[in-house]
Amino acid sequence: MSALTAVVLAGAATGSGLWLIWSGWSPARPPLAQTLPRLGQPVIEIAPERDNVDVRVGMWARRLGPVERIIASMRTDLRV
């Protein structure tokens, strides 16, 4: 195997990995037919479980100012 082949394979593997990370980071949007019936429906607030480690870390992180501002802006962007 030549050096060029190794570099091409390494680049393809890196590109494939980055594509998989990006596609998992931003999942596909739901179809419009599923989204339209939800318009005008009240938002259901679900109380988080307190014994889950992820929830406890998330609640701690939300006390930080920048994190709360990011979450608030995402919430307004996602409000239907």
Query: Residue 59: which of 78, 79, 24, 51 has the closest Cα?
Result: 51
Please report the pLDDT score of residue 43 as a whole number.
74
**How do residues 30-48 score in pLDDT, each as one tens digit?**
888 888 888 888 877 777 6
Q: Where are the domains of the chain?
A: 1-28, 50-80
**Cα gap 68→52, rounded to integer Å:** 20
**How do residues 41-79 score in pLDDT, each as one tens digit?**
887 777 767 777 777 777 777 777 787 788 788 777 676
Place of tokens 């990006």: 22
The model's confidence at residue 80, banded by pLDDT at 50, 70 and 90, is: low
